[in-house]
Amino acid sequence: MGSASSVNLPLIAVVEDDLAVLNSLEFALRAEGYAVCIATCAADAKASLDFPRADCLVLDYALPDETGLTLLRALRRDGLRCPAVVIASNPTLECRRQAAAAGAPLIEKPLMGGELIAQIAEFIQAVDR
Note if the pTM is more than 0.85: yes
What the chain holds in terms of domains, given with CATH numbers, is: 4-128 (3.40.50.2300)
7-16 pLDDT tens trace:
689 999 999 9
pLDDT digits (tens, 9 = 90+) for 54-73: 999 999 999 999 999 999 99
Q: Ramachandran region of residue 43, left (φ > 0), alpha (ψ -120 to 50) or beta? A: alpha
Sign, Cα dihedral of 11, 123, 97, 111 = negative
Q: How far is CA 77 from the centre of its chain?
A: 17
* C-alpha 94, offset from chain centre: 20
Indicate if the pLDDT at residue 2 is higher than 50: no
50 band by pLDDT with thresholds 50, 70 and 90: confident
At residue 78, the pLDDT reads: 87
For residue 80, which of 60, 98, 53, 99 has the smallest C-alpha distance? 53
